[in-house]
Structure 1
Amino acid sequence: MQDLPPSLFDPKRFFFTLRLADPGSDLLLRRIGKLRSAMRSTLRHHGFRIDAIAVLPATIHMIWSLPPDDADIANRIGMLKARFSRHLPPAHYRSPSQIKKGEKGIWQRGYWCHPLRGNADYVRHRGLIYHSPVEAGLCDTPQDWQYSSIHRDLARGYPLPPPLGPAVPQRQKTARVAL
């Protein structure tokens, strides 16, 4: 069974999770306009497609499709983080190392990245993204969460994926990548 048109599958799709350094923060929602601006700027400079996204108070889950000739994930993530942080004050606590490097201490270092392998993996991670606000106790249904691309997908006629899709085969590797 195929949940999305085959033309939407791209072998250069990746699932990402970015987190703020302070897991109790709601900065991403309070500054959603800055986040959207940072995302648009990053898209303009380094093209990619956002296939799915959910912005939680201190976490962003997303699936990106990259161009066939460009797999520079780290630069895109670094640019997004930097553009979002640029006009914000530093975090209340920064380590001496962060201060020395001129880091604001807003983001957790690195990011979680998983290359998607096939349509089932894509549908599973899309479900993870769209159900994450429900799992976090922020709303009752994925459609209740305004900071998600679920509304765009439903308007396009794509079905809502189940909260826990089929398991990802063990041979697929997931990595936390440091910037």
Structure 2
Amino acid sequence: MVKYRRARVAGACYFLTLALQNRGSDLLSRHAAQVRQCLRVVQVQLPFRLPALVVLPDHLHLLMVLPPDEADYSARVRKFKIAFVAMLRQQGAHEVLTNAKGEANVWQRRFWEHLIRDEQDYCNHVDYIHINPLKHGLVARVQDWPYSSFHHYVRRGLLPIDWAGGAGVEIEHAGE
């Protein structure tokens, strides 16, 4: 088995991207409420904060802040993926098949992780998360995508409702 080198800093903030095996699926946006519910369940088991999140049809981006004495974001990702698959099975909302290793046909095995280095890096990733539905052509304005922490930022007065206007913003990221 390949041992991936991942940054592990206790109490740090990480940008994470989790993707479905079927990148043409809309499973996550159809079940956005269940995505949030599964994240809350994991937060109770293994605490973390979610300063920013966007649920897209076939992947999601989030910022995860770990408690000061913990660095294991992988365990949280694993528990979330398991919880989401269990919810799909329980609700019969999606045919969940397993391979010879017992892995469900829902998530890609790996996920993208980036250790947030400083305040500018943090702000850049919050912006990236919020602009993502526009970047993927899902909406004409950021405010029109319902499955985003963008709306929380607007309610708190951190961003204007017309942030990023209606025109696309060129933001490149190695995670996609």
TM-score norm. by structure 1 comes to 0.78
CA offsets, 1:7-62, max 9 Å, x none?
A: xxxx7111010000000000011122321221110011111110100100001011
Q: Number of residue pairs matched?
A: 158
Question: Is residue 15–residue 116 contact of structure 2 (8 Å, CA) maintained in 1?
Answer: yes
Query: Does the 8 A contact of 1:127 with 1:164 survive in 2?
Result: no
SS in 2 for 1:70: coil
Q: Distance in 2 between matches of 1:87 and 1:13?
A: 27
Give unpaired runs (5+ residues) of structure 2: 1-10
Superimposed CA distance per residue, residues 151-177 of structure 1 (whole angstroms, 9 cap, x where no aligned partner): 111111213676457x99xxxxx89xx
List 4+ stretches of structure 1 deviating above 2 A. 87-94, 159-165
- Once residues 121 and 87 of structure 2 are traced to their aligned partners in structure 1, the CA distance between those partners, rounded to angstroms, is 37
Compute the TM-score of the two structures, normalised by the length of structure 2. Answer: 0.80
Does residue 1:134 correspond to 2:134, yes or no? yes
Give the match for residue 77 of structure 1.
Answer: 77
**1:149 alignment partner AA:** S
Structure 1 partner of 2:86: 86
**Aligned match of 1:156:** 156
Partner of 2:4: none
Q: Using the TM superposition, give the Cα deviation of residue 88 of structure 1 relative to its aligned residue in structure 2, in angstroms.
A: 2.5
Tell me which amino acid in the other structure corresponds to 1:71: A
Q: Which residue of 2 aligns with 1:38?
A: 38
SS for the counterpart of 1:151 is helix
Structure 1 residues 63, 140: CA separation in 2 closer, same or farther (over 3 Å shift)? same
Partners of 2:33 and 2:53 in 1: how far apart? 15
- Percent sequence identity over aligned pairs: 35
3-state SS of 2:88 partner: coil
Cα contact 2:85–2:96 (8 A) shared by 1:
no
Q: More deviation in 80-89 or 102-111? A: 80-89
Report 1:13-162 matches (<5 A). 13-89=13-89, 99-159=99-159
